[in-house]
Amino acid sequence: MNRLLKFCLVIVAAYLGLHAFIAIFFYDQFPIPIQVTEFNFDQLTEYRARVLIPSFFLTLIYFIYRYFAGKNPTSALWPVYVALVSLVLAQIIGFLTFVPMSFDPIIMLLGTMFMLVIVRKAHNERKKEFF
């Protein structure tokens, strides 16, 4: 199980690193670095504005709260877990407000939920090492 977790985390990190690289260096060729086939450019812009950016803000709000509460993360994977929880929450709210129910958004939500489960399991294993 430990090898599966490490393999999944490496795949997720490579995927996110590729998207970060595209977003930083090739923004003019790829305005939104998400491969979605059913969305047009306006829908992708709305998705970014209503799902991705709010999930980033929710993550920041949580860590500001943690700072004022005087709590430290229990492992290095905790921030990744919190970011994924914020993204899943924003995606579910997006389904309720604007995102059309089609194949691609459902696959993105399921992929995010899969990453969430993997990161949570890895966090629990890492947390056992500290205590």
**Domain ranges for the chain:** 37-130
80-89 pLDDT tens trace: 888 888 888 8
44-61 pLDDT tens trace: 777 777 777 888 888 878
Cα–Cα dist 108/80, whole Å: 17
77 neighbors 119 (Cβ within 8 angstroms): yes
Instruction: Give the pLDDT band (50/70/90) at residue 33.
Output: very low
Arithmetic mean of pLDDT, 71-98: 80
Q: Long-range pairs for 47-52 at CB < 8 Å and ≥24 separation?
A: 47/94, 47/99, 47/105, 50/90, 50/94, 50/97, 50/98, 50/99, 51/87, 51/90, 51/91, 51/93, 51/94, 51/99, 52/87, 52/90
Q: Which residue has the higher pLDDT, 74 or 32?
A: 74
